[in-house]
Amino acid sequence: MESDDNSNAPSRRQIVGGLATGIAAVFATTPAAAAPDAGTAAVPAQPLQNPVGLYPKPPFDKQSQPWPGLASKMNPRPDHGEKSYRGSGRLAGRKALITGGDSGIGRAAAIAYAREGADVAINYLPAEEPDAQEVVALIKAEGRKAVALPGDIRTEAVCKKLVADAVAKLGGLDILVNNAAKQATQDSILDITSEQFDWTVKTNLYAMFWITKAAVPHLKPGSAIINTTSVNAYDPSENLLDYAMTKGGIMIFTKALAKQLAKQGIRVNGVAPGPFWTPLQVSGGQTQENLVKFGENTPMGRPGQPAELASVYVELASAQASYTTGQIYGASGGRGNP
């Protein structure tokens, strides 16, 4: 699930398309008391662009892939900021672990983190290896360390090993992004099998809990945890009952953990995307009918692209957001919500 837009301080370019104006306003300045990250350099501002026409609009071609799907086989191919995201050293020297980092929102965050100066480990399913290798190449192209950690996170043992391997290969950990998700559309609760329910809950909730629990002992003051929830936590889709339930749980987990870890100087925040063009949608997350018109019911009339969320993940991980914890940031093309 999950994904690049860019901008915060006056030294950074304006956010590229799709983010709500409220978020842009929050990100527009850096508090005077906050020290800039090492290596920060001026980035030329981009010309104004109309976000409504910035990316493809429906109707989209009918298309389906077996779970978990590959971004490289989607039409149109999602934009993760491969060509557009430009960093300014805001995360120089940081070490990040991102689940679901091969495609979608996780991939956009991985690209942005590397271009902001961080070393990045990504987790993904073995079937997603082709997409993952593209991300690894993009991270290495920035001169940063890239760690590929394939594995199905539906068991506690895999989650513990994932964190241990990330810490060992990165030389530490100070950013954790829980982003991996399972989404499967079903019109009725009667159609949701126990197998599907277990798969969704284990991927979306259990894994987040296990990975976070394993990571916390390694996190020092100033570290950040970012969880990907969803607009479905606030306005659940009737055909995503189990998925929406888990996303609501992620939102509550984020807020509660933020209170728990505040005294340790560890910030915990969440991001709640609206409709975003990722492999989740073409691998069972939407019906073919809904896929063709995906995103048309937003005021912008289109789905978001993963590239349009990258700057949010950067901001929440950076020192500039030092007073931000327990918050959920939304991007839903004008439909409101967080």
Query: What CATH number is given to the structural domain containing 261?
Result: 3.40.50.720
- Residue 328 structure tokens: 């959920």
Radius of gyration of the chain (CA): 18
**Does any domain span residue 6?**
no
**Does any domain span residue 312?**
yes
Report which of residues 9 and 80 the model is more confident about.
80
Question: Looking at residue 163, what is its pLDDT?
Answer: 98
**Does any domain span residue 173?**
yes
**pTM of the predicted structure, to 2 decimals:** 0.87
pLDDT of residue 337 exceeding 70, the answer is: yes
Read off the pLDDT band of 255 (50, 70, 90): very high
DSSP labels, 91-140: TTT-EEEEETTTSHHHHHHHHHHHHTT-EEEEEE-GGGHHHHHHHHHHHH
pLDDT of residue 20 exceeding 80, the answer is: no
**Does any domain span residue 325?**
yes
Question: Looking at residue 46, what is its pLDDT?
Answer: 80
**Does any domain span residue 26?**
no
What domain range is 164 assigned to? 74-331
pLDDT of residue 238 exceeding 60, the answer is: yes
Residue 86 is classified by DSSP as -
For residues 258 and 253, give the distance between their C-alpha atoms in angstroms, rounded to a whole number.
8
CA dihedral (146, 103, 232, 19) positive or negative = positive
If one counts the domains in the chain, the total is 1
**Does any domain span residue 136?**
yes
pLDDT 10s digits, 258-312: 999 999 999 999 999 999 999 999 999 999 999 999 999 999 999 999 999 999 9
Least confident of 45-49, 103-107, 179-183: 45-49
Largest Cα span, the chain = 55
Residue 204 is classified by DSSP as I
pLDDT of residue 26 exceeding 60, the answer is: no
Catalytic residues: 243
pLDDT of residue 2 exceeding 90, the answer is: no
Least confident of 36-45, 164-173, 197-206: 36-45
pLDDT of residue 124 exceeding 70, the answer is: yes
Share of the chain above pLDDT 90, in %: 85
pLDDT 10s digits, 135-180: 999 999 999 999 999 999 999 999 999 999 999 999 999 999 999 9
Comparing CA positions, the residue from 123, 96, 98 lying closest to residue 318 is: 96
For residues 95 and 122, give the distance between their C-alpha atoms in angstroms, rounded to a whole number.
11
Question: Looking at residue 336, what is its pLDDT?
Answer: 81
**Does any domain span residue 50?**
no
Beta strand 224-228 with 267-273 is: parallel
**Does any domain span residue 44?**
no
Burial class of 337 by CB neighbour count within 10 A (0 to 12, 13 to 18, 19+): middle
How far from 189 is each of 112, 232, 242, 243, 281, CA to CA, in Å? Answer: 38, 16, 9, 12, 20
